[in-house]
Amino acid sequence: MKLGTLALKSALISAVAALSSTAIADTKVGMITTLSGGGAGLGIDVRDGFMLAIKQSERSDIEVVIEDDQRKPDIAVQLADKMVQSEKVDVLTGIIWSNLAMAVVPSVTAQGKIYLSPNAGPSPLAGAGCHPNYFNVAWQNDSLHNAGGAYAQSEGYKNVFIMAPNYPAGTDALNGFKALYKGDVASEVYTKLGQTDYASEIAQIRASGADAVYFFLPGGMGISFLKQYSGSGVNIPVIGPAFSFDQGILQAVGAAALGVRNTSQWNKDIDTPTNQAFVSSFLAEYERLPSLYASQGFDTANLLLSALETASVSDNAGFRSALKAANFISVRGDFKFGSNNHPIHDVYIREVVKEGDVFTNKIIGKVLNDHGDPYAKDCKM
């Protein structure tokens, strides 16, 4: 598997090099994403999804400059400076983490650059801090949590135990859940960021008498929680957002995740020709199933390509309205931008299943229809 990725990577690099050398690039895109250290998997997926779409477009006038932010905000800011000052890119994209986005986005949009977010959607950027140059192609951070709350409500849960790490995105997550959930909260628990042992929280869950658990624990935290939860003998059903059940990490959770319900705006079994073409071409290109992040990277590139069809980046106003029109077919199905340039889309509930040897997700229902976000009303644009 390792060799495969390596070969792919070098192929990719030479592809980029070829793209940049053959033609006078009309459009220069700067991608700042996490490619090394913990969390590199997400950045790699976004990059691969994005580059796949660029490759399929067969356009030679787009140059993509990719840089690794190491998940450090100060490095991300420095790279953004580099992209703007010396690479002179027209469009920026790629950032995975909310805190890095908060560090980079306001500054680059203020400098007149377009920013397309393939993953993070912190609430300040959707509300009062929105900007005509900022487009979020993934979701506003609350989106999947809203859906979690709505799902818990529709399933008739009356007493839910909710849990997230103690940092802004965690607080947002639990508030997002509570927005559409009307029952009682058995207990609201904030864990340490980066915590790896959840024995004590699981004991609290066991003692709480809750009828469901909603948790937001991205990355390794979620893997640890699920493995420990499944071994604890507690049988209360678990709901979460897609982040802990993504294709990339699901294999590491294994059977512990089977049957868990999670909310997502995308899944590989969405039965549209665009999506099926995306899944099979991604599989062919990279020899692995695409993840949610890959789908978002792919959508981001396609949005960009669609706008380039109607306007040139040098025509700022024209290009912005071309982006806003979102005249592309998203792999997730219906997609349009709200007044704050954040997606209005459907959110599904998925279940973790095993297909052959591979753990993956299956859509079992739609929770929210054409869902926007609650911050749009604060956006004066």
Partner 1 sequence: MTFVLLAEQILNGVQFGIMLFLMAAGLTLIFGVMGLINLAHGSLYMIGAFAAAAVAGMTGSFIMALLAALIASAAAGALVELLVIRRLYNKDHLDQVLATFALILIFSEGTRWVFGSFPLFLDIPASLSGPMTLPGGIQYPLYRLVLIGAGLSVALGLGLMITKTRIGIQIRAGKNDREMIAALGINISGLYTLIFSLGAALAGLAGALVGAIQSVQVGMGEPVLILAFVVIVIGGIGSIKGALIGALLVGLTDTLGGIFLPELLKFVTDPSTATSIGSSLSSMAIYILMGAILIWRPTGLFGTKL
Partner 2 sequence: MIREHQLNKIILSIFLIIPLWAFVTDEPFTITLMTRATVFALAAVGLNIALGLGGLVSLGHAVFFGIGGYSMGILACHAQTYTPLMEWPMLVSGSKSMPLIWINAVIMSALAALLIGILSLRTSGVYFIMITLAFGQMFFFFSISWSAYGGEDGLSIYIRNEFPGLNTLVPIQYYALCLALLCTVLWINSRLINSPFGLALNAARQVPERVETVGLNPMRLKLAAFIISGAVTGLAGALFADLNRFVSPTMFSWQTSGEIMVFVIIGGVGRLFGPVVGALMFVALEHWLGGLSDFWHIYLGILLLGIVLFGRGGLIGMICGEARQHE
Sole binder of partner 2 in the list 10, 14, 22, 36 (CB under 8 A)? 36
- Work out how close the CB of 98 gets to partner 2 at its nearest, in angstroms, rounded to a whole number: 6
Q: Report yes or no: 341 and 130 within 8 Å, Cβ to Cβ.
A: yes
**DSSP secondary structure letter of residue 85:** I
16 binds partner 2 (CB under 8 A): no
Output 197 or 315, the one with its CB closest to partner 1.
197
Closer CB to partner 1, 141 or 341, in the complex: 141
For the beta carbon of residue 120, count every other beta carbon within 10 angstroms: 22
Closer to partner 2 by CB, 94 or 359: give it: 94
Minimum CB distance to partner 2 smaller for 78 or for 159: 78
The pattern of x and - marking residues 218 through 257 that bind partner 2 according to CB under 8 A reads ----------------------------------------
Asked whether 322 and 336 are in contact (CB, 8 A), the reply is no
Report if residue 188 touches partner 2, rule: CB under 8 A: no
Residues 79-118 that bind partner 2 (CB under 8 A): 81-82, 85-87, 98-99, 102-103, 106-107, 110
Burial of 318 (0-12, 13-18, 19+ CB in 10 A): middle
Distance in Å, CB of 189 to partner 1, minimum? 7
Residue 77, classified by CB atoms within 10 Å of its CB into exposed (0-12), middle (13-18) or buried (19+), is middle
Smallest gap from Cβ 16 to partner 2, in A, equals 13
User: Is 349 in a helix, a strand, or coil?
Assistant: strand
168 scored as a contact of partner 2 (CB under 8 A):
yes
Site for partner 2 in 301-340 (CB under 8 A): none
Q: Find the helix or strand (DSSP H, E) in which 14 lies.
A: helix 2-22
Do residues 296 and 52 lie in contact, with contact meaning Cβ atoms separated by under 8 Å? no
Complete edge-to-edge strand list for the sheet that includes strand 114-117: 62-68, 27-33, 91-93, 114-117, 134-136
Other CB atoms within 10 Å distance of the CB of residue 349: 23
Q: Which entry of partner 2, partner 1, none binds 312, CB below 5 to 8 A by partner kind?
A: none
Phi/psi at 39 (5° precision): 85, 5
When CB distances are held under 5 to 8 angstroms depending on the partner's kind, the choice from partner 2, partner 1, none that residue 110 binds is: partner 2
DSSP 321: H
With respect to partner 1, which residue has the nearer C-beta, 111 or 196?
A: 196
Contacts to partner 1 by CB under 8 A: 1-2, 5, 36-38, 40-41, 44, 166, 171, 188-194, 196-197, 199-200, 203-204, 206-207, 219-221, 223-224, 227-228, 230-233, 248-249, 251-256
132 near partner 2 (CB under 8 A): no
Interface with partner 2, residue 169, by CB under 8 A? yes
> Which residues partner with 185 through β-bridges?
160
Pick 38 or 365: Cβ nearer partner 1: 38
Among 193, 252, 258, 329, binds partner 2 (CB under 8 A): 193
Taking the least distance from each CB to partner 2, the nearer of 108 and 253 is 108
For residue 298, what are its two tokens?
């792919």
Q: If contact means CB under 5 to 8 A according to the sort of partner, which of partner 1, partner 2, none does residue 72 touch?
A: partner 2
**Three-class SS of residue 366?**
strand
- CA-to-CA dists, residue 115 to 80, 108, 128, 154, 218, angstroms: 11, 7, 17, 36, 24
Q: Does 192 bind partner 2 (CB under 8 A)?
A: yes
In the complex with partner 1, which residue's Cβ is closer, 358 or 364? 358
CA dist., res. 32 & res. 303, Å (int) = 18
Nearest to 94 by CA among 74, 60, 120: 120
Question: What, of partner 2, partner 1, none, does residue 207 touch, CB below 5 to 8 Å by kind?
Answer: partner 1
Q: Which of 60, 159, 171, 272 binds partner 2 (CB under 8 A)?
A: 171
Residues paired with 348 in a beta bridge = 264, 366
